[in-house]
Structure 1
Amino acid sequence: MTNLRPKPTPRPSSAFLTVDLDREGKQTGFLMIPHSPHDDAWGATRVPIAVIKNGTGPTVILEGGNHGDEYEGPITICDLIRDLDPGRVQGRLILMPANNVHAVMAGQRTSPVDGLNFNRTFPGDPRGTITQQISAFVTDHILPIGDAFLDLHSGGSSLDIIPSAIVEPTDDPALHKRNIAAVQAFDAPMTVVISNLGEPRTATAAACRAGLVTVGTEMAGAGTVSLDALAVCRRGVANVLDHLGVVVREKPEPRRSEGQILELPGISAYVYATADGIFEPFHANGTKVSAGEPAGRIHCTWDPTRQPETLHYAADGILYGRRQPGRVKPGNCCLIVAAPYRGTL
């Protein structure tokens, strides 16, 4: 497997690496982004990066910490950095466990430095804010040398999601098939096609544009570390690395999921808050639900004379994710429904 697309010319940037991406063996270091805030005139933002290279084979990029309040993926990547014997690698791993590093250190979805959501900044700007510069470096210098990309997410502080592996849609039919094969190899409890309503600024959308086999995840969430989801993530990453031929398993791993593919069916997948208050969901994740069925209600406890406002599902399927904080404002995503995938495999 080789990414044969032409490599774009990198945009001028002041960012630099403290590791050599082409050197054999294991290295750990940083992507350095010069950063001059009030208290550090000539400082730098340090984004951790490790490279494990041995002989020939595919280059697989693993990203965690895209959002700073999502934990199972970064833990899994750090395990690999510390524990993986370079002699087991057939090719190259580029491991980035905390790409949105300021958000990771703050435990926030968005960066406290510039307020940006890293996963809505691709292809980035090498002369922009810190978050834009990080995504620009990934776009210009990391993705073009890769063959595959694993972007390990969880539901974060605001959502609790059934652990799942995610297919990023692409207009390239051949790449679409390779993506589905890799995502199914992950062998999560669910496989879900998520288009983010056509959002082109995500890391996985950028990876598909660059021609990389792309695997995403949503590993539980709720602002904590789920032991079950962490086990799914560790096993799934090992499964995909074996599938790609870069770290072959010593023993075959039995398949645990049924192989069904679901999708988020556009805007009808989402149930949004319509009022200011406290959300009471009616169903647990995994429940079968129907369009038009009451989904939950919003209470205004500081005005007990006001009747609760009932929300309804807009799609048939299963409840895939629920909002974690009870407090809601209009427009907050409260519930997400997944339905059987209607696309081509």
Structure 2
Amino acid sequence: MAADNDKTSTMLDTSQIYTGNAFTNVDFDRLGRQVGFVSIPHSPHSDAWGVTQVPIAVIANGKGPTVVIEGGNHGDEYEGPIAIGELARDLDPGLIQGRLILMPANNVHAVLAALRTSPVDGLNFNRVWPGDVMGTITEQIAAYVSQRIFPMADAFLDLHSGGSSLDILPSAIIEPTDDPDLHRRSVAAVKAFDAPYNVVISNLGDKRTATATACAAGLVTVGTEMRGGGTVSLDALAICRRGVRNVLAHLGVIEGETKSDTERPVLELAGPPAYVYAPIEGVFEPFHANGETVSAGQPAGRIHRIWDLTAQPLTLHYGIDGIVYGRRHPGRVSPGNCCVVVASPYGKHT
């Protein structure tokens, strides 16, 4: 059964909204399956008249919502792009009602380099939204999605993992919004994903993200965090594959059982106290595994300065009660690095 959704997809041409120079070889209004690129003029030293090619697939049939599914927002996060690529290749257009816009490698230069940030301009794709049509390549890609893609859409799935620097509990993410109706519909979609954890993440109030921009555009929005550590997690990949189809069934795009574990609690990263940061350089030794219950003031781990035999390890402490949601993956830390993140019951600390 389709989720209630006040915003309906009209399949109309909205190209007049976009004001940049990107072009594409897919027709967003054509039925069936198309695979191509969004191309943005790019003139580096090695290619005077080249383009940056962002892969895109469109699968459309019948009448129903338009769902945008993004992966490769960061280039070292893999479960989402794998799941999106499988949909683009394998999903029978005759089995859907609506339109899927599939973008598995939006931060394409970072994806090719397996980096969080783009090697072209050094920017984090998830901190430049809503983008800039006159900006760098990373900013121009974000502008294309926010100005050209989002106006066609009803829902947005942004599939992340912890990347190379974090190992995070597999979870579906709720983006905060001041719109109570949109919040209700997004929470329903997040619960339909059926991840082991549902977590509200505000990125410390930073609105320069894809999901914050999607919420501002009125889209039902679902994020994910699928482990990380710079590798492909077998359990997280299975959760991601199943979860994407669960949400599509929830929205009425494909047939399937609509899942929602209403008993599963919603957690949140409740501001700065949820994060344990390194104040010095060294090697971080964590004291607890992901999922363990911890409390404010409890030792979280210690930093060893292994090159200095006279230096005692520095113990770090949790700033909030909750469970260990994510831990730094590399042992080596520098001042300001995030070592541990704690998730707490939603609303407990507000």
TM over 0.5: yes
Secondary structure of 2:111's counterpart equals helix
Q: Of the candidates 7, 24, 29, which is equivalent to residue 3 of structure 1? A: 7
Instruction: Give the aligned residue type for 1:60.
Output: V
* Structure 1 gaps, min length 5: none
Q: 2 CA distance for matches of 1:255 and 1:145?
A: 27
The answer to whether residue 55 in structure 2 is matched with residue 48 in structure 1 is yes
Specify the alignment match of 1:282 in structure 2: 287
Q: Aligned pair 1:128/2:135, yes or no?
A: yes
Measured in 2, the distance between the counterparts of 1:9 and 1:179 equals: 28
Residue number among 82, 85, 89 corresponding to 2:92 in the alignment: 85
Alpha-carbon deviation of 1:247? Answer: 1.2
2:336 is aligned to 331
Q: What's 1:175 paired with?
A: 182
The structural deviation recorded for 1:127 is 1.1
Q: Deviations over 1:130-188 (max 9, x none)?
A: 00000000010001110000000000000000000000000000000001000000000
Paired with 1:21 and 1:9, the residues of 2 have a C-alpha distance of 14
CA distance in 2 between partners of 1:63 and 1:337 (Å): 26
State the SS of the aligned residue for 2:169: strand
SS of 2:45's partner is: coil
Q: How does 1:101-140 map to 2 (within 5 A)?
A: 101-140=108-147
Q: What does the per-residue CA deviation read over 1:86-133, in whole Å, with 9 as the maximum and x for residues that have no partner? A: 001100000000000000000000000000000001111111100000
| Structure 2 counterpart SS, 1:262 | strand
CA contact (8 A) 1:2 1:58 kept: no
Instruction: Please report the RMSD computed on the Cα atoms of aligned residues, expressed in angstroms.
Output: 1.7
| Secondary structure of the corresponding residue to residue 246 of structure 2 | helix
Q: Distance in 2 between matches of 1:218 and 1:82?
A: 24
**TM-score of the two chains, using structure 2 as the length reference:** 0.95
Q: How many residues align?
A: 341
Correspondent of 2:199 among 192, 195, 219: 192
> TM-score of the superposition, structure 1-length normalised?
0.96
Match of 2:306 among 296, 301, 305: 301
Does the CA-based 8 Å contact 2:8-2:65 persist in structure 1?
no
Question: Structure 1 pair 98/257, CA: closer, same or farther in 2 (3 Å)?
Answer: farther
Contact 2:191 2:259 survives alignment (8 Å): no
Equivalent residue of 1:221, what SS? coil
Measure, in 1, the Cα distance between the counterparts of 2:27 and 2:6. Answer: 21
Offset from partner CA, 1:189-244 (integer Å, 9 cap, x none): 00000011111110000000000000000000010000000000001001000000
In structure 1, how many angstroms separate the alpha carbons of the residues matched to 2:169 and 2:180? 28
Instruction: Give the letter for the 1:202 counterpart.
Output: T
CA distance in 1, matches of 2:18, 2:254: 32
Gaps of 5+ in 2: none
Q: Which residue is 1:318 aligned to?
A: 323
Distance change in 2, residues 1:168/1:199 (3 Å): same
